[in-house]
Amino acid sequence: MNLRPVNSSLASLAHRLGTLAPSGRRNRRNAPRTSTAFLAALLAMTSPLLVASPAVDPSVAFVAVAGYWTAGQTRGTYRVVVWDEGFEHVSSGVRAEWVAEPSDSQAEAQVVSSRQLVEPGFFSFGAPRLTRHGAGVRVVLDGVDTHEPDRRVSCSFDLLPDRRVSTVKPCAGLGH
């Protein structure tokens, strides 16, 4: 981390707040009042660095969010997660999630339902394509057979507001 710009910014801020006289010497008359302001400004500048960001599982390859569902008093969005497993024959697993929006300003979004679309082991998929379809969302997956990489694979599913999944096209090869 390069601290030079931060230090020069802090010196500039300290000068503006009056803790340093224009000569660079400490201005004792305003020091107690402005030192508090200086510390508050310093805390405000550094506090975003102290907040931990959420960790994403390294096996997650793609996440797509689309559409909007309502079930009773609960509503939210559809999310599809593709993750990779394996070593020599890397394969993808695909999961659909119904993510409920927060109920108030203090709450967080929650996954209220999750359905496995494709088990890992046979196929490797790219980014899922989600489009609105009827009352739900259609998920289209394109990829390859992990044991025959020249064999392309495609499948599609409909995600419905009542947390059901309908298989539109089972995962199958498209020929050689």
**What are the tens digits of pLDDT across the range 140-171?**
999 999 989 899 999 999 999 999 999 999 99
**What are the tens digits of pLDDT across the range 76-103?**
999 999 999 998 889 999 999 999 999 8
Query: What span, in angstroms and rounded, lies between the C-alpha atoms of 5 and 9?
Result: 6
Query: What span, in angstroms and rounded, lies between the C-alpha atoms of 75 and 86?
Result: 35
- Break the chain into its structural domains and give their ranges: 4-50, 60-173
Query: What span, in angstroms and rounded, lies between the C-alpha atoms of 144 and 84?
Result: 13
With residue 49 as reference, give the H or E element that holds it.
Answer: helix 31-50
Structure tokens at 104: 């108030």
